[in-house]
Structure 1
Amino acid sequence: MAGSTSNATGTWAIAGFLAALALNAAPLMAQPATGDACRLLADRGPVWRAATPLARDEVRLTFVGHATFLIESPQGITIETDYNDYVRSGRVPVIATMNKAHSTHFSFSPDPAITHVLRGWSDIPDTPAFHNLAIGDVRLRNVSTNIRTFRGTEISGNSIFIFEVAGLCIAHLGHLHHPLEPEQIQAIGRVDILLVPVDGSWTLDLPGMVDVVRHLSPTILIPMHYFNPWTLKRFVEQVRDEWQVEERAAPELIVSRTRLPQKPRLIILPGR
């Protein structure tokens, strides 16, 4: 895999094979802010289909499954989050972001037609990845987090990615393993839409993740990375007094800043 260390491939493969094993919690290392605020899955075929054009103040999010979303901007810039070899949208994105806690969050062989493949880790040990990309009507940046591994804590092994599209700030928490420090929250900045893993075991435990959500205080909260309806329900019950719950029949959501809900809302999108 391009951009990986030579001795890491075997470890990642083992991590993917043993992904069901829970690991121990670890603290994070924050990356300084760089800008203004702002079921193990088999491939069942593409979910993307020809979509209606977006207005210049709209963004489309499609939940592909697991931790993967397809984000589309008004100018047609597409982003696929936690791009991997198991769950893909069926579309070649302009930008692919990846994390490496497990093999369901990165690809050994990303499509060569992808313009920007952004890894949430650095080749240099204990050094955060740094991304601050502006392309078309999209700005993207990251905040590094630590991960748990079979050998202990890997400093800055993953990233939270923040996407600024159509005046909205969308944060994808990736494979978050630990609570956020105040400087981390400050670096993330304003969050309008939060994509949050809610499994409560492979990622941060449920009380810790709920605390992260409350600190970031998004207007729209979209759960991901859960493996059965009971896991999802457990998270929903913890936050439903603060986020009004809405369940959608279709996996896509079109949002604009002017049409954000008056009250915070948790939106459940179906995914594979």
Structure 2
Amino acid sequence: MPVPRLLLVCLGIFWLMVLPAMAQEQSAPSRCLAIAQAFPHVTYASFMPAQAGAKEEVRITYAGHSTYVIKTPGGVRIATDYSSAYGSAPLPDVVTMNKAHRTHYTDAPEPGIAHVLRGWNPEGGPARHALGIGDVYIRNVPTDIRSWGGDLERDANSIFIFEVAGLCIGHLGHLHVRLSDAHYAAIGRLDVVMAPVDGGMTLSLDAMSEIAERLSSSIVLPMHRHSTPIGAFTGRMGPAFTVEFRDSPTLTVSLRTLPRQRTIIVLKGV
């Protein structure tokens, strides 16, 4: 079958599978979903012109613990796993939270925060977020967590995905469980992933390195390190990843400046 025809068939299958769910659950189409992740050996694709947003820069600043502050080209400020201890000055427009521990959420977010996105649903069931604000689209993929006693709590954590300037940026939250094929399909492509690397309170280092490798992100940003040596994580990633230590807590990234080789970037403070 000629390649152009094969591509059209794949795209047709993708839209038949994904559009009905999008229409029900999302206010805007995701640009980061896979064409058909359910099929083996299918690569990720972005449904936007290749040059769109290529020169627009996103600023990502490590604020502390699991909080990164993302500033979009349009000026939207987002703080991840927000407890108000980090990333509160200036006040973000959007905060995401997860509830595994009090260091990842707050019951009293500042009144000036326009959008508070909890990674769990207080009323039960999975949280569902599909928010467009300014130049960014934010969605989530629910995962389970384990209690201190080891019991499984369904859909109590969320991987948040921020789609901006043609980039797909993901924050894994307080991830306790290995990701299934369904999770990977729902996440889609991630150019930048923020991954907890403590190796104990979240997933093991081996499991986290497996996730980072399978996501094939251009940039991995470690977080939630605690006392774990950063080399314990980077050493498990193998030769497919290069490692860069930065003397600044801030990374500026665009489609144009994504590294050719997959790179773990350790920002100041991590």
TM-score range relative to shorter protein = 0.7 to 0.9
Q: Which residue number corresponds to residue 30 of structure 2? A: 36
Query: Cα deviation per residue 1:63-111 (whole Å; 9 max; x = unaligned)?
Result: 0011000000111001000000433342200000000000000012111
| CA distance in structure 1 between the partners assigned to 2:254 and 2:84 by the alignment | 31
Q: What is the alpha-carbon root mean square deviation over aligned residues? A: 1.8
| CA distance in structure 2 between the partners assigned to 1:85 and 1:57 by the alignment | 28
In the TM superposition, what is the alpha-carbon distance from 1:259 to its structure 2 partner?
Answer: 1.2
Moved over 4 A (4+): 32-35
SS, match of residue 258 in structure 1: coil
In the TM superposition, what is the alpha-carbon distance from 1:192 to its structure 2 partner?
Answer: 0.2
Q: Which residue number corresponds to residue 161 of structure 1? A: 160
Q: Which residue number corresponds to residue 264 of structure 2? A: 266
Aligned residues: 224
In the TM superposition, what is the alpha-carbon distance from 1:207 to its structure 2 partner?
Answer: 1.0
Q: Which residue number corresponds to residue 137 of structure 1? A: 135
Counterpart of 2:181, as a letter, is P
Q: Which residue number corresponds to residue 124 of structure 1? A: 123
| CA distance in structure 2 between the partners assigned to 1:265 and 1:147 by the alignment | 28
Counterpart of 1:130, as a letter, is R
Whether the aligned pair in 2 keeps the contact of 1:138 and 1:163 (CA below 8 Å) is: yes
Q: Which residue number corresponds to residue 109 of structure 1? A: 108
In the TM superposition, what is the alpha-carbon distance from 1:219 to its structure 2 partner?
Answer: 0.4
Q: For 1:67-216, list aligned pairs within 5 A.
A: 67-125=66-124, 127-150=125-148, 152-216=151-215
In the TM superposition, what is the alpha-carbon distance from 1:57 to its structure 2 partner?
Answer: 1.1
Q: Which residue number corresponds to residue 46 of structure 2? A: none
Counterpart of 2:111, as a letter, is P
Q: Which residue number corresponds to residue 218 of structure 1? A: 217
Q: Which structure exhibits the higher relative contact order, with contacts defined as CA atoms closer than 8 Å and separated by 6 or more residues?
A: 1
SS, match of residue 259 in structure 1: coil
Of residues 241, 244, 251, the one that matches 2:239 is 241
Query: Cα deviation per residue 1:97-144 (whole Å; 9 max; x = unaligned)?
Result: 00000000001211100000000000233x100000011100000000
Whether the aligned pair in 2 keeps the contact of 1:198 and 1:231 (CA below 8 Å) is: no
Query: Cα deviation per residue 1:164-202 (whole Å; 9 max; x = unaligned)?
Result: 011100000000001000010010010100100000000
Q: Which residue number corresponds to residue 12 of structure 1? A: none
For structure 1, which runs of at least 5 residues remain unmatched after alignment?
Answer: 1-31, 39-54
SS, match of residue 211 in structure 2: helix
In the TM superposition, what is the alpha-carbon distance from 1:271 to its structure 2 partner?
Answer: 2.2
In the TM superposition, what is the alpha-carbon distance from 1:220 to its structure 2 partner?
Answer: 0.5
| CA distance in structure 2 between the partners assigned to 1:180 and 1:143 by the alignment | 11
Query: Cα deviation per residue 1:19-52 (whole Å; 9 max; x = unaligned)?
Result: xxxxxxxxxxxxx7754351xxxxxxxxxxxxxx
Whether the aligned pair in 2 keeps the contact of 1:174 and 1:196 (CA below 8 Å) is: yes
Q: Which residue number corresponds to residue 4 of structure 2? A: none
| CA distance in structure 2 between the partners assigned to 1:77 and 1:56 by the alignment | 17
Q: TM-score, normalised on structure 1? A: 0.78
Higher mean alpha-carbon deviation, 234-243 vs 192-201, is at 234-243
Q: TM-score, normalised on structure 2? A: 0.79
| CA distance in structure 2 between the partners assigned to 1:69 and 1:241 by the alignment | 27
Whether the aligned pair in 1 keeps the contact of 2:31 and 2:163 (CA below 8 Å) is: no
| CA distance in structure 2 between the partners assigned to 1:84 and 1:36 by the alignment | 28
